[in-house]
Amino acid sequence: MTKVPESEIQDLLGEGIAAARAGDKEEAFRLLTRVTELQENNAEAWLWLSSVTDTLADKLVYLEQAVELAPDNAEARAALERVRKKQPARTPLEGEETLHCTWHPERETLLRCNRCGRAMCTECAVRHPVGLRCKECVRQTRSPVYDVRPESLAVALAAGTGISLLAGFIVPMFGFWSIFIAPVAGGFVAEAIERSVPRQRGRPIQVVAGVSVVLGLLLAQGLLPILLRGLPPAAFVILALGALFNLFNLIYLALAIITAARRLR
Q: Tell me the pLDDT tens digit for each residue of 146-185.
A: 567 888 889 999 999 999 888 887 877 777 777 888 898 9
CA distances 95 to 7, 67, 99, 207, Å, are 49, 30, 11, 49
- Pair 49, 37: CB distance under 8 Å: no
What residue ranges do the domains of the chain occupy? 6-86, 99-142, 148-263
Please give the pLDDT value at position 210: 92
User: 233-243 burial by CB neighbour count: b if 16+ within 10 A, else e?
Assistant: eeebeebbeeb
Please give the pLDDT value at position 133: 76
- CATH numeric code, 6-86: 1.25.40.10
Q: Could you tell me what percentage of the chain is helix, strand and coil, using 3-state DSSP and rounding each to the nearest 5?
A: 65, 5, 30
Please give the pLDDT value at position 90: 47
CA distance 111 to 93: 13
Backbone φ, ψ for residue 85 (5° rounding):
-70, -30
Backbone φ, ψ for residue 22 (5° rounding):
-85, -5
* pLDDT tens for each residue of 75-128: 889 988 888 887 655 454 445 456 888 988 888 887 788 778 888 887 787 766
Mean pLDDT of 223-239: 75
Q: Where are the beta strands (DSSP E) in the chain?
A: 99-100, 108-109, 111-112, 119-120, 125-128, 131-134
CA distance 164 to 255: 13
Please give the pLDDT value at position 93: 46
Cβ-based neighbour number of residue 163 at 10 Å: 22
